[in-house]
Amino acid sequence: MLDINKIYEARERIKDVVVDTPLSYAPHLSHVSGCEAYLKKENLQVTGAFKIRGAYNKIATLSDEQKACGVIAASAGNHAQGVALSASKFGIKAVIVMPESTPLTKVNGVKHYGAEVILAGTNYDEAYAYAKSYGEKNSLTFVHPFEDDEVMAGQGTLALDILDGCMDLDAVVIPVGGGGLISGMACAFKSINPKIEVIGVSAKGAPALKNSFDLKTPVDSLSVRTIADGIAVRDTSPITLGYMLDSVDKFISVDDEEIASAILFLLERQKLVVEGAGAVGVAALLHNKLEHLKGKKVAVVLSGGNMDVTLLSVIIEKGLLKSGRKMKLTVTLIDKPGSLMRFTEILQLLNANIVHIAYDRTSISLDYGDANVTVHVETKGEEHQRAIYKVLKEENYIRD
């Protein structure tokens, strides 16, 4: 494990920069999961994610000569903002290499702190390779997002904050991408209270570190695909894997459907905007991946909240459809005056509120004189939707 003293030293360095984010009891999550759940809201951190902790600690430990030359980092967004803000605090140059698919909100967040942004590669690992090469050519110190003891020590301060708020924890659930956060936090937890169970959660679409943990040897993946872009790491770090094998008790994964439902749950029930990477711990509890924690006191780390609003709108829309609060219907009408009015009157009588309507009379699948009408309606659940479907079928708008 890391030296616990490094984590205490990091806490002293970063105390005037990071926010002491809330550790709050989550009644809805506790009811659903059966455990006593507390949320550590790092989505409310100064840069919207925990990464500022490790980035600032690392840059604070650089020599004067290294600071004068500047720093470079590769990141999908949160580490980038952490490095950019930290560099601005020290008045030094920062170059951030981000994958070409990085959400605009994260690119703009980095630029806001004065860093230069270079978009390169289709994922983190390709951006990383570009950044390493660029940094060597331009004498910039590379600030690794997780494979660095000073960075991990900074991330480990999050565990100290959690213990300050709740010493009698039974377990902590931590998002895992490259492994830096859980490595630093596990060190702190196991050094202070070895009885606390440390559980990592990754995205199924980025399986390398989970597979490596299970096999106890580094295994890389060919590609990654997940809505949790903050933990979409393709290759395994032998360093963080070693720390995890030494101090992490359990490691599971959740899929994108489960992550999306957790994002929507946090938005509706907790009034929190949390990105995919930050929501994986909640996803694990919501979808019964950690049933052994029932009745126990559990802290769940919400590691970040820098959510792409375009993706968020898709998640909300799909969530409404799946939960029966929205319904999409396409019917064929005779294209003559009054046909559409009659159809909408039926929906009105059924208390189905139309929020979108489209009219198509040119589709080649239609007979001449017909038109397809597609409506999106707000509904009150699956029973309401079945009633709407039944009436429309009786009125011959829907045919088997």
Q: Report yes or no: 119 and 102 within 8 Å, Cβ to Cβ.
A: yes
Nearest-angstrom CA–CA distance, 141 and 71 = 5
Q: In degrees, to the nearest 5, what angle opens at C-alpha 275 toward C-alphas 355 and 46?
A: 120
The DSSP secondary structure of 130-192, one letter per residue, reads HHHHHHHHTTPEE--SSSSHHHHHHHHHHHHHHHHH-TT-SEEEEE-SSSHHHHHHHHHHHHH
Structure tokens at 92: 């030094």
| Catalytic hit among 51, 106, 190, 210 | 51
What number of CA atoms fall less than 13 Å from residue 144's CA on the CB side?
18
Residue 297 appears among annotated catalytic residues: no
Nearest-angstrom CA–CA distance, 225 and 208 = 12
Which backbone phi and psi does 141 adopt, to 5 degrees?
-80, 125
Specify the pairing of strand 353-360 against strand 370-378: antiparallel
| Catalytic hit among 6, 204, 303, 326 | 303
Residue 210 appears among annotated catalytic residues: no
The SS3 assignment for 375 reads strand
Other beta carbons within 10 Å of 292: 12
Q: Report yes or no: 14 and 160 within 8 Å, Cβ to Cβ.
A: no
Residue 367 gets which letter from DSSP? P
Q: Which one, of 103, 186, 192, 111, lies nearest residue 152 by Cα?
A: 186
Catalytic residues: 51, 303
